[in-house]
Structure 1
Amino acid sequence: MGDRPRYVVGVDFGTLSGRAVVVDVADGREAGCAVHPYRHGVLTQRLPDGPPLPPDWALQHPADHLDVLRVAVPAALADAGVDPADVVGIAVDATSCTLLPTLADGTPLCDLPELRDRPHAWPKLWKHHAAQRQADRINALAVARGEAWLPRYGGRVSAEWQLAKALQVLEEDPAVFDRAARFVEAADWIVRRLCGRETRNASAAGYKGLRQDGRYPSAEFLRALHPRLDGLLARLDGPLVPVGGRAGGLTVEAAGWTGLRPGTAVGVGAIDAHVTAAAARSVAPGRMLAVLGTSTCLIVNAEDYRDVPGVCGAVDGGVTAGLWGYEAGQSGVGDIFAWYVDNALPAGYADRARRLDTSPYDLLDSLAADQPVGAHGLLALDWHSGNRSVLADHELSGVLLGLTLATRPEDIWRALLEATAFGARTVVDAFADAGIRVDELTAAGGLTRNRLLMRIYADVLGRPLHVVDSVQPAALGAAIHAAVAAGAYPDVPTASDAMGAARRETYQPDPARRIAYDALYAEYRALHDHFGRGGTEVLHRLRALRSGPR
C-alpha cells in the first residue's frame, strides 16, 4: 500500500440508532461518520403488527441492525471520501446483554413466520427488565449453594443478563426455548452476518453470561433452577475470541451491504462501553470511564481482583488483556431525562422553548443552572428503570421527595440531574471502599454535551471530570479494535495510545458546592438504603400492583 493512508470502520449499535465512523489507523482521526436511526426503535408496547407486550419488556428488531450495515457504513465511507481498498478492518460493538434466540444458521426466531407473534422469539434488549423474578431465584440459589462465581458479580445477578433472560424464555414459552439452537449476543450475531463465522466475544460471555475461570455455571446449578435449563449450555457453543481478536474476513454478501472489499478483517464483537475505554484512553489501571447515555456504564481496569459489592462483573481480560476489568452502572440516566421532558413537562414550558428556538432540555438547564445547591428542597432516587449498581434490583422505582406548591419544573429537573450524579457516586464509592484505585475519571457519550450535568457530576463526585473529544466514542473504540484485528497494532493499549481521542475539556469541582453536595449526598444515601435495602418494601409492592398478577 506504500504511503497511502489506511482506515478502519467502527460501528456502534446503540439503543435507538447505529453509528458508523471511518477512522485513520495512524492517529485515530475520524474521517467520516453516519448515523442511522432504527426504524422500529425499542419495542416496549407491542410487537410489529402483533400482540401487546407485558410491562417491563424491551425488544429490538434484528432488521434494524442490518439496515445500519446497509445504510450507515456506506454513508460514512462516502462522507470520508475513502477508497474501500484502503480500509483494512471493521469491528462492531453493541448494547449488552441484548440476547437473540436463533436457529443453528443464525436466523433469528422472530424471522420465522410461525414465531413472529411470540414475544420470546424476539431479541431482548439490555433494558428488558421482565426477568427480575428469575434473577431473584438465581441469586437465592447461588447464595444457598455458595457458588464461587457469585462474588465476581457483586453478590447479585442482574435481570438484564443472559441467564435470567434465557430462564424466562424457558419458563414462559418453552416451545421457543426448544426451537432456539443458539442464544446469541447482538454483537456476536452481527459479526456472524459480516464474516459468516460464529464467534462469541469473551467480554459479553464473562460479564453477561457469568463465564468465569473458563466455564459457565454448571449443569447441576442450571438443573436446580429448572430441570431442562442445562440445555442452555449447548446453545452457548461457539469459538470464544478475546477482545481485539479477529473473527474472520468480510463475506461477499456483507461487502455488498457495506461497500467494503470482501476479505476485509472483521473484529470480534464487543460491549459498547468496553470499547469506549479504548477511545477515551482509559485502559490503564485506575482510569475510570463513565459512559453517559440512556443508561450509564462505569468501567475501570485493575491489576488484581477484589470483591466489590454491587459490581456488574469483574472479569480477567474482560476489557483489556492482562488486567481485571470491572463494570458497574446505572440502568437509567438519559432515559430519565427524556421521560421527564416527554411525559411530565408542562405544555407551557415546551411552548416557551419553541418561542426561544431552543430545546426543552436547554431551557430547563438555563433555568436551573444558577440555583444554589439544595435550594429546590428536593431529593430524588434515580431508579425509574430499576437499579443496576449497587443493588441490582430492577423492581425498584423512582422516588421524588420534598414537593411543595412552590416547586417548579426546573426544580424537579435539577433534582433528577443530581440524582443520577448521586447514583454514580454510590458506585465510585463502592470501588474505593473495596480498594480499587480510581485515580482519574473520564466521561464519554452524548450526555457530556450537557454542561450543567457535567458540572454537577464534578461537584458531587468531588474530583476533576475529563470529557472525551469524540462525537461517537463507542464507534471510535470499535474502530480501534478493528485496527488490532487487522494487525495494525499488536494490542488494544498500543492502539488506544495512538488512536484514542483527546480530552475536550475538564470540569473542576467547586469547593463550596462540593461541601453542600456532600450534605445532600448523605441524605441520598439514607434514602437509598431505606428504600433499597429493606427499610420498606413499598416500591416492590407498588411494582406488583402496577404489573398485575403473573
Structure 2
Amino acid sequence: MTINYPLHIILILFIIPPCISNSPPPQSRRSSLVLAVDGGTESVRACVFDPLTGTPLTPPCSSPYTLFHPSPGLAEQDPSQWWSATGEACREAVRRAGEEEGYDVKELVRAVCVDTTCCSVVFMDKDEEVVGRSIIWMDQRAAPQCEEIMRRAGGDPALRLNSGGEGPVSAEWFLPKCMWMKENNPEVWESIKTACEYQDFINLKLTGVLVGCTSNAAVRWHCDGDALVSGSDSGLPTGLWRSVGIEELKDKIPRKFVAPGARISTLSPSAAEHLGLTTSCEVIQGGPDAFVGMVGLGCIKPGQLCLITGSSHLHCAVTESPNSEPTFWGPYRGSPLPGIMFAEGGQSSTGSVLNWARRTMFPDMSYKELDALASAVPVGCDGLVCLPTFQGSRTPVTDPDGKGSFIGLTLGHGRAHIWRSIMEGVALGTLDCVSGLRSGGHAASEIVVAGGAARSQLWLQMHADAANARIVCTEFGDAPLLGGAILASVGAGVWGSVEEAVGRMVKVDRVVEPKEENVGKYEKLFGAYKELAKSVRPGVRMLKDIRGGDGGGGRISPSLLSADWANMEREIRECEGCGGHVERLHCDVFDGVEIKDPLAMTFGPKMIRDIRKRTRLKIDVHLVAVDPIRYVDPMGDAGADCLIVQYESFDGDESLRRCLEEIKKRGMERGVSVAPKTPIERLGGLLREGIVDVVDVLTVEPCFAAQEIQLGCLEKVKSVKREFPKVRVMVDGGVNEDTIKEVRRSGADVIVSGSFVFKNAGGVKEGVRKLINVAA
C-alpha cells in the first residue's frame, strides 16, 4: 500500500533534523582521546591525541617554570611551579583541542599519562608538603657521594649496571642525592618522610596516591624493575643502602611501584578541575621522559637504538645481552617496559649548550639563521673544537666535574665557527657514546632520533656523518609526548598491548644517510676530540678549588687529634655537616718513638680504615714515625687519600724520595711536613722535581695539641706559593679566631684546625663557621 504524505510534511522531514542540534553528525565525533604530558627541564608540555591513529589534535601547549642555579654545578626547581604549569598546559591543550574539533572534548579524554625528567628528586614531610626545592637531574653537588658509594660498596650486585659493580656512579642519580641531603642537612633528613621523583610527585598530585615508577627505579635507583612489578622487595638494593649508611631510605621511598602503561587511579576531583578534565579520566603510569620517548620512537625491540635530544642527549639501545662495560650504563632490567632491557649512553649538556650560546653570543639570530651561518663553515671548523661537557660528562667517561671548553681558537675564527663547533662537538660526543655501546655488543646500523635535533637538518646530517649511521626521524618528532599517548591508549584499553599501539601510532617521516665524503673527516676529527677531552681533565680538576664555595683557598681541615675519640663517628658527622668549607679530615699518626715520647702515640691504620668506612671526606694522614716507608702500604690499604711524611724523619733526600715514590704507587697524594725549625729551602730540590703534591707547614711543634701558633712559619707558605703555585700548601697548628686572618693571607690552600674546632662550645659547625666568617 502506498502512503502519500503532504508536501509540507516531507519538507519538515528534510529540514528539521539539521535544525534540532548544532552538533556534528555522530560519525564525525571521535570515540575517545588521550592526553600526554611531558615535564621537561624548562617547561611542561601537553597534547591531546587520537589514540586510534596517533594523531595530535593540535600542536603541544607549553607552560614554563624557573630553573635555579644557586652556584656553579647546582640546579634546582620548585615543585609547586611544576604543578601550576601542568594545570596551565593541560587546560590549554584541552581547550584548543575542543576548538579544533568544534565541541567540548574533556568528556572524551579517557586517560592521561605524564612523563618527566629523571632524577629530579623531591623531598616531602609527613604532611606531604615539599621540603625545599627539588634537586633536579643536572645538579652535580653529589659528586663526593658518588665516590663514597664506590669506595664503600664497590662490587655490590646492585651496581652491576656500572661496569659490573666497578663504577663509576653519576652525581645525577637518586641515591647520591639522598646521601647528600642526609650528610649535609641531617636535621632536615630526619624530618623527611618521603623521597621520590618529579614523576611520583606529579602522579601524587593527580590521584592522591603515592607510587614509584619501575622504569625510574630500574634505571636510576639501582633496582630490578621486573622484580618491583611483582611487588617484591627483592628488587630493592637494600644491601647497597646498608653499605653506604642510608638503610632508612627504604622507609622513605614509595611503598608501591607501578610499571609504565599500567593504571594508577583516576583523577581526584581537585586534579580534574586543575587539568580541565573529568574524574572518570584514568591516570596511567608514564616514566622518565627519555625512556617514554623510546616507546614514542617505536624502540622496544632488541637491536634498535634511539637518540633522545633536548637539553641533553640520551642514547638507548634495546638489547637481549646483559653485558656491561665501563663505556656505558646498564643494561637495565624492566625498562622502558617490563620484560625489556636496554643499555644507555648519555651526554649531560647538548641542546642546553646551544641555548646558552644563542642567549649569550647570538641573541639577535634565530636557530634557522644560525644553521645557515654554520653551513658556510667546513667540517672541522678550521681547527676549532668544542668540548660540550658544560654540566659534566655521563658516558663513555663519567665525570661530574667535567667542564666545557673551546680549543683551537685563533683570531681568524668568527661567530660562525663558534656556533658550528658546538654543533660538531655534540655530534662527536654522540659518536663517543655510540662507540661505547658498540664496544659492549649493543650495535645498530640506524639511529631513530627525536627531540630538538630533529628540527635541524644540518645537525641531523652532522650526527649521521659523525656516527656513520642512518638517521631516522618519525612523523611526530616529539617522542616523549607520543610515547605518553601510546601508554595512555594501552592503559585505557584502546589497544591490547604496547607493541600493537606502536604499530598503529608510530610512523617514519624521513631518513638521513651519512655522506661518505664527510665520514672520514669526522673520524679524523674524533681522534683529536678524544685526545683533547683527555688532556683537559687534569686542568679542570685544578680549577675546581677556584670556583664557588668560600672563594677557593683556605678550606678548613679538622684535625681529629683533638676530637673526642670515644665519639669519633659523631665528630665526623659534625665535620661532614659543614658543607663545602670542610672537604678533608686531618689524621695525625704518631708512633711515640720518633719524637721520643710514648704519650704522643696516636691511632694507626685500623683507625684510618674505620674512619674511611664512615665518611666521604678526603683523609690526609700526617705520619711521624721511625722508618715511615713501612707504613705506606698499610695506609694505602686503609684508604688514606694523602700520606704526609715528616721531613725530619729521614736521613736525606734520597730516602725521602724513595718513600714518595712508594706513596705514588699506592695512588695516594704525596705530602711532606716541615717542623718550625726546618728551613723550607730544604724542600726546594724535591719540589722542583715535581714529586711533592702537598707541603704541610707546621706552625707548632709536632704531636701536641693546643699550642700557640708560630707566625714566622707563615713565610714558608708564601715562599712555596710564589715559586710552586700548583703545590697544595696547608698550615697546621695554632689556628683560631685570632690567627686565621694571618694564615689566610699567607696563601694557604688548606688550614688545619683541631682544638678550636672540636673544643668549641657551639660544636664543630659553629667552630668552622667562626673561622670562615673571620677569615672572609
SS state of the match for residue 126, structure 1? Answer: coil
1:91-117 deviation line (CA, Å, top 9, x unaligned): 1000011110012453212xxxxxxxx
| SS of equivalent residue, structure 2 residue 342 | strand
Which residue of the partner structure matches residue 212 of structure 2? Answer: 200
Report how far residue 33 of structure 1 moved. Answer: 4.0
Task: Give 1:127 deviation, angstroms.
Answer: 0.7
Counterpart-to-counterpart distance in 2, 1:460 and 1:209: 32
* Code of the aligned partner of 2:117: T
How many angstroms does 1:140 deviate by? 2.5
- Cα distance between partner residues in 2 of 1:153 and 1:492: 29
What is the rounded CA distance, in whole Å, between the counterparts of 2:58 and 2:196 in structure 1?
A: 30
Which amino acid in the other structure matches residue 454 of structure 1? Answer: L
Q: Report SS of the residue matched to 1:406.
A: coil
Match of 1:546 in 2: 547
Residue 376 of structure 1 corresponds to which residue in structure 2?
382
Structure 1 counterpart of 2:241? 222
How much does 1:545 deviate? 1.6
Structure 2 equivalent of residue 10 of structure 1: 36
**How far apart, in 1, do the equivalents of 2:342 and 2:171 lie?**
21
Cα drift, residue 471 of structure 1: 5.1
State the 1:31 CA deviation: 0.9
1:303-342 counterparts in 2 under 5 A? 303-342=320-359
Secondary structure, aligned partner of 1:93: strand
**1:92 match:** 114
Structure 1 partner of 2:185 = 173
Residue in 2 that maps onto 1:253: 270
Does 1:131 find its partner at 2:142?
Answer: yes
- Which of 155, 164, 168 aligns to 2:176? It is 164
Amino acid corresponding to residue 69 of structure 1 in structure 2: T
- How far, CA to CA, are the matches of 1:18 and 1:392 in structure 2? 29
Maintained 8 Å contact 2:63/2:88 = no
Q: Which amino acid aligns with 2:222?
A: L
Distance in 1 (alpha carbons) for counterparts of 2:416 and 2:152: 45
- In the other structure, the counterpart of 2:5 is none
Q: How many equivalent residue pairs?
A: 509
**What code does the residue aligned with 1:151 have?**
R
**Mapped pair 1:107 → 2:129:** yes
Tell me by how many angstroms 1:509 deviates.
Answer: 0.9
Q: How far apart, in 1, do the equivalents of 2:445 and 2:152 lie?
A: 37
Do the aligned partners of 1:34 and 1:73 also contact (CA within 8 Å) in 2? no
Report if the CA contact (8 A) 2:381-2:421 is conserved: no
1:294/1:335 contact within 8 Å kept: yes
Structure 2 gaps, min length 5: 1-25, 99-103, 228-233, 556-579, 581-776
In the TM superposition, residue 224 of structure 1 has moved relative to its aligned partner by 4.0
Q: How far apart are residue 167 of structure 1 and its match? A: 0.7
Any idea what the Cα deviations from partners look like across 1:161-211, whole Å, max 9, x if unmatched? 111100110111112111110101111110111111111110111111111
Q: Which moved more, 1:176-185 or 1:29-38?
A: 29-38
Contact 1:19–1:472 (CA under 8 A) maintained in structure 2: no
Q: Is the 8 A contact 1:153 1:314 kept in 2?
A: no
Amino acid at match of 1:27: T
Query: Does residue 509 in structure 1 map to residue 542 in structure 2?
Result: no
In the TM superposition, what is the alpha-carbon distance from 1:454 to its structure 2 partner? 1.0
Q: Which amino acid aligns with 1:303?
A: E
**8 Å CA contact retained: 1:241, 1:247:** yes
Per-residue CA deviation, residues 338-357 of structure 1 (Å, 9 max, x unaligned), is 222223x2xxx655x4xxxx
Corresponding residue number in structure 1 for 2:422:
416
Query: In 2, Cα distance between the equivalents of 1:320 and 1:35?
Result: 27
Contact 2:295/2:336 (<8 A) preserved: no
Residue 152 of structure 2 is aligned to residue 152 of structure 1: no
1:479 is the counterpart of 2:485: yes
Deviation of residue 312 (structure 1)?
3.3
Distance 2:80 2:238 in 1: 34
Is 1:42 aligned to residue 67 of structure 2?
A: yes
State which of 480, 495, 502 in structure 2 corresponds to 1:489: 495
Q: For 2:196, what is the secondary structure of its paired residue?
A: strand
2 CA distance for matches of 1:462 and 1:89? 40
Asked if the contact 2:75/2:139 (under 8 Å) is kept, the reply is yes
3-state SS, counterpart of residue 270 of structure 2? helix
Are residue 406 (structure 1) and residue 412 (structure 2) matched? yes
Counterpart of 2:81 (choices 50, 61, 64) is: 64
TM-score of the aligned structures, taking structure 2 as reference length = 0.63
* Superposition deviation, residue 483 in structure 1: 1.2
Q: Separation in 1 of the partners of 2:60 and 2:429?
A: 32
Any idea what SS the aligned residue of 1:55 has? coil
Assess if the C-alpha contact under 8 Å between 1:43 and 1:58 holds in 2: yes
> Aligned residues: percent identity?
27
Q: Could you tell me how far 1:531 is from its partner in structure 2?
A: 4.0
User: Which residue of structure 2 lines up, in the alignment, with residue 466 of structure 1?
Assistant: 472
AA at the equivalent of 1:142: A
Following TM superposition, by how much is the alpha carbon of 1:280 offset from its aligned partner in structure 2, in angstroms? Answer: 1.3
Q: Which moved more, 1:280-289 or 1:330-339?
A: 280-289
Contact 1:106/1:189 (8 A) holds in 2:
no
**Aligned counterparts of 2:150 and 2:298: Cα–Cα separation in 1:** 35
Give CA deviations for 1:66-90 in whole Å, capped at 9, x if unaligned: 1233211121111111522211110
- Distance (whole Å) between structure 2 residues aligned to residue 402 and residue 543 of structure 1: 23
Question: What's the secondary structure of 1:166's corresponding residue?
Answer: helix
User: Contact 1:22–1:30 at 8 Å: present in 2 too?
Assistant: yes
- Distance, in Å, in 2 between the alignment partners of 1:103 and 1:245 is 27
Contact 2:153 2:243 in 1 (8 A): no
1:34–1:75 CA contact under 8 A, matched in 2 = no
SS of residue matched to 1:232: helix
**Which structure would you say has the larger RCO, counting Cα contacts within 8 Å and 6 or more residues apart?**
1
Note closer, same or farther for the CA distance 1:54–1:382 as it changes in structure 2 (3 Å cut).
closer
| Matching residue of 2:530 | 525
Displacement after TM superposition at 1:504 (Å) = 2.8
